[in-house]
Amino acid sequence: MTQHVETSSGRGWNILFIMTDQHRWDALGCAGGWVETPVLDRLASEGVRFASAVTNAPGCVPARASLATGLYAHDSGVWRNGPFRLDPATPNWMRAIRDVGYSTALFGKAHLHASNTDLRDHVGAMQAIGFETVNEIPGPWGSRYIRSHMSDAWQSRGLWTAFQRDLDERATHRSLVRPSPLDLDAYYDTYVAREAQTYLRRYDDSRPWFLCLSFAGPHEPWDAPEPYASRYHPGDMPPAIARPSDACEAPHGLLHERLLSEGPWRSHLDAGDVARLRANYAGEVSLIDDRIGEVLDTVRDRGELDRTVIAFASDHGEMNGDYGLLFKSVFLNGAVRIPMIIRTPDTARRPVGRVYQHPVELMDLGLTLAGIAGAPSFRLGSARSLAPVLDGSDAPVRDEVLAEVRGEYMLMDDEWKIAFRPDFTPYLLFDRPADPDEVHNLAGRPATAAIERALTDRLRQRIASSSPAVPEPVEP
């Protein structure tokens, strides 16, 4: 068995960071109860589940930029999906882990640089930000035309053309639900897990390893392959949260733009359509859970499970029909709340996993892992370490959490969630304990004016604390 050197932390634990894409906070067996995820549930039982974790941006690129750097969109200027390359000069936690003595590897989706041709041409860019071994794939939609080792494998089996044709048809019918033309063995999430397993089986470096396992699912399209496409019965799926009849009476923001305009984000689906969509989504979540289990089996076969930290999170959620909406880019729970679990060798020795209820941010996860790796003095923008929670503290890590998208802002604490337009006008206000489904918008009401003013002041303070000045709103 490989002998591991110890890092400056004195522990030398391996680190497995697992990331999914567009994974709702409640799509876990241990959270929402409508999806079977025994592997993730077991990790939660051996660690800490962060029940009120929030993405820093309900969009792939800005969320991943914030996770990597600890910078909010108002600091980095990364407000939405689009061309982006993580500057190697910007501190990031992946490189911090490498620099304290870890071998570092990425398998799966990164979305930290712009590529419209071949991801293998950008391996140098990924190595510059801290990953020594790189096997990167695009997301499902990018896989239509962006080349990678995975697309070569598909092409060698005569599958890539069928996949491209399937996605072309789905592009004109974004809510189409049917199995992928890829079989389970070729499916992108299976590919990512298999490549990670191969890496671990062959690993013989003297250093502890840090492996980022980044799945492309359960991001739409709704194309789980068989047998997962048929695993769940649509009638067993929870109904979507209906759009309130007075949803557009408050001041308008991006949410109302989505509700009042035509586009692929407005589903126009009936209850049966939503149920079928959710059943397919649940199937893909279970597919990923099974693949995670296979990777953990490989870690166990190496005799390393008892000295491996395992962290799990998603970049953002998926509306899945709530409010009659699909996709992301809004501040409702379906899009902005994410699953997050951290399991360490220390937490695994405790008999029952903990559920931490206070809000935390996605960016906090990277700083926490850097500290575990042996970089306790490393600072990452506005991120906060979750180490006190792993050590047993139930105290709040933050007074409130902040998310941003397309020039808009959201604050959330234990009691309130509030969303602002770029001009700082509140347009959503929810009493979280009294209204967990967010169907009673209190924004703009005289009775909550004082609360809005207090929360607006807190937003301005948050922005001022991380930036020299409040930025000009970025045009969405």
Cα–Cα distance measured from residue 92 to residue 70, given in angstroms and rounded to the nearest whole number: 8
* Amino acid identity at 383: A
Task: For residue 321, give the nearest of 281, 287, 370 by alpha carbon.
Answer: 281
Would the pLDDT of 249 be above 90?
no
Contacts of 126 (CB under 8 A, 6+ apart): 106, 110, 112, 113, 134, 136
pLDDT (mean) for 173-183: 94
Start-end of H helices in 306-384: 333-336, 345-348, 363-373
Q: Give kind and range of the element (H or E) at residue 198.
A: helix 188-202
Confidence of residue 473 (pLDDT cuts 50, 70, 90): very low
Residue 232 token pair? 């769940």
The mean pLDDT of 270-297, rounded to a whole number, is: 97
The residue assigned the tokens 């008892």 is 306
Percent of the chain with pLDDT over 90: 84
| Average pLDDT of the residues in 15-25 | 98
pLDDT at 2 over 50: no
Q: Give the integer Cα–Cα distance in Å for 182 and 187.
A: 5
pLDDT at 472: 39
| Across 122-139, average pLDDT | 96
**Rounded-to-integer distance, Cα 176 and Cα 40, Å:** 28
373 vs 3: CA distance, rounded Å:
17
Give me the pLDDT at residue 467, please.
Answer: 59
Mean pLDDT, range 348-360, rounded to an integer? 90
* 83 — pLDDT class (breaks 50, 70, 90): confident
Judged against a pLDDT cut of 60, whether residue 10 lies above it is answered with no
Check whether 278 has a pLDDT greater than 70: yes
**Rounded Cα gap, residues 221 and 199, in angstroms:** 29
Can you give the pLDDT at residue 80?
Answer: 79
d(CA 66, CA 121): 24
**8 A C-beta contact, residue 15 and residue 102:** yes
Beta partners for 214?
19, 108
Instruction: Please give the order of strands across the beta sheet that includes 426-431.
Output: 401-405, 408-412, 416-420, 426-431
128: left (phi over 0), alpha (psi -120 to 50) or beta: alpha
Summarize the confidence of residues 90-109 as an average pLDDT: 97
* Per-residue pLDDT, 351: 66
Q: Is residue 395 packed enough to be buried (19+ CB in 10 Å), middle (13-18) or exposed (0-12)?
A: exposed
Query: Which distant-in-sequence residues (6+ apart) come within 8 Å of 446 by Cβ?
Result: none
CA dihedral 321, 323, 329, 335 (to 10 degrees): -70
Q: Report helix, strand or coil for 215.
A: strand
Q: What whole-number distance in Å separates Cα of residue 408 and Cα of residue 44? A: 33
Q: How confident is the model at residue 79 (pLDDT cuts 50, 70, 90)?
A: confident
CA–CA dist 331, 338 (Å, integer)? 12
| Structure confidence at residue 7 (pLDDT) | 41
Residue 356 confidence (pLDDT) above 60:
yes
Distant-in-sequence, close-in-space partners of 435: CB < 8 Å, separation ≥ 6: none
Higher pLDDT, 468 or 456: 456
Q: Which two tokens stand for residue 15?
A: 């680190």
- The domains of the chain, with CATH numbers, are 14-404 (3.40.720.10)
- Encoding tokens for residue 189? 């999430």
Judged by DSSP in three states, 69 sits in helix
Helix 271-301 to helix 38-45 angle, to the nearest 10 degrees? 60
Does the pLDDT value for residue 67 go beyond 50?
Answer: yes
Alpha-carbon distances of 358 from 49, 383, 422, rounded to whole Å: 11, 15, 27
Tens of pLDDT, residues 369-424 = 999 999 988 999 999 999 999 999 999 999 999 999 999 999 999 999 999 999 99
**Is the Cβ–Cβ distance between 22 and 317 less than 8 Å?**
yes
pLDDT above 80 for 115: no
Q: What is the mean pLDDT of the chain?
A: 92
